[in-house]
Chain A
Amino acid sequence: MSSRQEMTRETTPPASGRPIIEMVGIRKVYDTGKVQVEALKGVDLRIEKGEFVAIVGPSGSGKSTLMNLVGCLDTPSGGDYFIGGEKVAGLSRDQLADVRNRRVGFVFQAFNLLPQISAFENVEMPLVFGGVPPKVRRAKVAELLERVGLGDRMDHKPTELSGGQMQRVAIARALAMDPDIVLADEPTGNLDTTSGTDIMGVFLDLWKQGSTLVVITHDMALARRASRIVEIRDGRIVSDRPAEQAA
């Protein structure tokens, strides 16, 4: 871990007692010019360290919108959002970039890897942006790729990998800066069933190893293995309960 990262951690500790994610009355309105779409109509959400939250709901209900707001990839239209106790609304663009870099790891449905550079270089990117020295970086990237089972594929380009392998690279990339929370938006959406199950296994392992996870999924079998299921319909949370109680 870089000294700089530790410093940041010290200045903004994930205050024990406060949740990692705390959203109050979050709204999001998409203004497409002609019509205004209210994708989130007041969402309250708290996520504590060590949780594995599955977000479910029909298509178009606002799951991705919520996830993007949690990951500070987008700005809410209303409500309050604290990440690690820090009020997001007050942050500058550069501070937001730091939050994305250090606190959040994002796994996308469409992988979003840069196609022409190697798996190693893709995973290394967040570390470069985070100012981690090269030596530390190399060791960290190698360790991560080993961890997702791609130790022998480091120099392959994304196009030379299968879908499942690409998503493993993306997961390794999400873990690069040891984020407080890993967010995944339908990480198996572009995969066949076998690779999908495989990737879900990776997430379960991560959780067992102590990561805090939020995963959007249509797979109820997986959702039931999470610690908590949040169901969204039409921009509102309609149910939020421990997974054991899910129907």
Chain B
Amino acid sequence: MLRDALLQLHRDLKSQKLRTLLTVFGLVWGTVAVTLLLAFGAGLKKNLIKQTAGLGDRICISWPGLTSIPYQGLGKGRRVRITDEDLETVRPRVDGLKRMSSEYTDGWKMVYNLKTYPVDVSGVSPEFAEMRNLIPVPGGRFLNPLDVSHQRRVVFLGNKVAEDIFGKGTDPVGKTVLFNGSPFLVIGVLTAKQQDSSYNSRDSDLAWIPGTTFRALTGRKYLSNFVFQPASALESKAVTESLRAALSRRLKFDPADKEAFSVWDTTEQFQFFEVFMLAFSLFLGIVGSLTLVVGGIGVSNIMNVIVDERTKEIGVKMALGAKSGAILRQFVVETMIVTAIGGAVGFAISLGICAVFPSSLQEFVGKPEVSPAVALITTGILGVIGFLAGFFPARSASRLDPVVAMKM
């Protein structure tokens, strides 16, 4: 039975070469158009995120400064000093605060193999990595809570620092370097990243140690700056204000004093970015749907053009004793196979185009990523449209008297 169905299908496809070819072409075209559109869209999106998130993932960076407004009898020009304890005290009072880490910075001399390198060192807590997108090269790790509580002498190196000191071939993890005479174990190296903005040195040129260790070694009490991350980019203003209020109460400065406590809200660019991405996705969605509609119209037009031809053919088959059920069953199988072929070819072409897409352009628009799901759904939709466009005329034809169908 299946053999016969396949044989008959083979014959039908052969007897309708043009129809089959046009339908397959319509399917291929639609699938390629939509798949590539979304592939390039996804690539571009990823590229934009990569370029923007180099500094950090929707964070605010704050620096204590000098008061510029007299407050509660205290004069202006007073230095605001913040400790870890201050941060931990205000942390629970601020709603919508996801992460926060103090940062102590200084330029240190680092010694390895009797050679000295000047390195900017930052004392931080483990949360810092998530906020600032510091991803260790596999095999290494960032600072953990134990490093902090035990004031361990461990260091996480920027990729360029690591390369300068250890060269390209060696894995620095497990090696020991000296900071101002104290031995530090290298626990990880930063994965190279694209970073378009920074507030200190580039991350590639930095080294991170536990904040507690930094303070123990230097005797420093007050942080250089701190970094915090609101739960959502859209809450950054509210979180900043509530943090400012909490700190101003504790440290006694005017909450309106922007200089006593300045904040760089990097989420501003993300807010634009999020709106842009929404618009971009919307654009892709609309263009994709339109392409799909155009493709669908194409496929169903082809189906319609061949309705007369098909009707006559169905008439002849019925005259020879074909049952309408068999005719329609065969039509369903035929459509499925044609759709599968069209989809597969379209998917392959999309993959091919993305594969040969020049890497010189990838820097600007990202690497296009073909999504099998998109290809599958697109082909599926086109197939269903084509099927519906062809099925109903075929069904009407199969309900005619054979002589009427043959006369079409």
Contact = CB atoms under 8 A, between A and B. Distances in A.
Contact of B401 (A75, A102, A121, A134): A75
B366 to A, nearest CB: 47
A174 B406 CA distance: 16
A36 B318 CA distance: 26
Chain B interface secondary structure, helix, strand, loop or mixed? helix
Nearest to A105: B320
A62 interface: no
Contacts of B220: none
B3 A117 contact: no
A129 B320 contact: yes
Given A121-B11, A134-B3, A126 B16 contact: no
Of B15, B320, B401, most buried by chain A (CB within 10 Å of CB) is: B320
A121 B16 CA distance: 14
Contacts of B318: 97, 100
A74 interface: yes
Contact of B325 (A94, A98, A128): A94
A71 interface: yes
A73 B321 contact: no
Of A71, A73, A106, most buried by chain B (CB within 10 Å of CB) is: A73
Interface stretch (A50-58, A108-116, A222-230): A108-116
Interface residues of A, number: 28
Contacts of B4: 128, 134
A101 B326 CA distance: 14
Contact of B323 (A97, A115, A121, A134): A97
A68 interface: yes
A241 B326 CA distance: 42
Contact of A106 (B11, B319, B323): B319
A125 interface: yes
A116 B14 contact: yes
Contacts of A121: 11
Contacts of A173: 320
B269 interface: no
Interface in A77-131: 93-94, 97-98, 100-102, 106, 108, 112, 114-117, 121, 125-126, 128-130
B133 to A, nearest CB: 61
Contact of B402 (A73, A98, A115, A126): A73
Interface in B11-27: 11, 14-17
Interface string B307-344: 00000010011111111111000000000000000000
A94 B15 CA distance: 25
Nearest to A102: B321
Nearest to B11: A117
Contact of A114 (B316, B321, B325, B403): B316
B7 interface: yes
Contacts of B404: 74
A112 B321 contact: no
Interface string B108-119: 000000000000
A102 B322 CA distance: 11
A21 interface: no
Given A74-B401, A128-B4, A100 B15 contact: no
16 contacts: A68-B403, A73-B406, A74-B404, A93-B399, A97-B323, A98-B321, A98-B323, A114-B15, A115-B15, A116-B15, A129-B317, A129-B320, A129-B326, A130-B321, A134-B7, A173-B320
Interface of B: 3-4, 7-8, 11, 14-17, 313, 316-326, 399, 401-404, 406
Interface pairs A-B: 9 shortest CB-CB: A101-B321, A116-B15, A73-B403, A73-B402, A129-B321, A74-B403, A126-B320, A129-B322, A97-B323
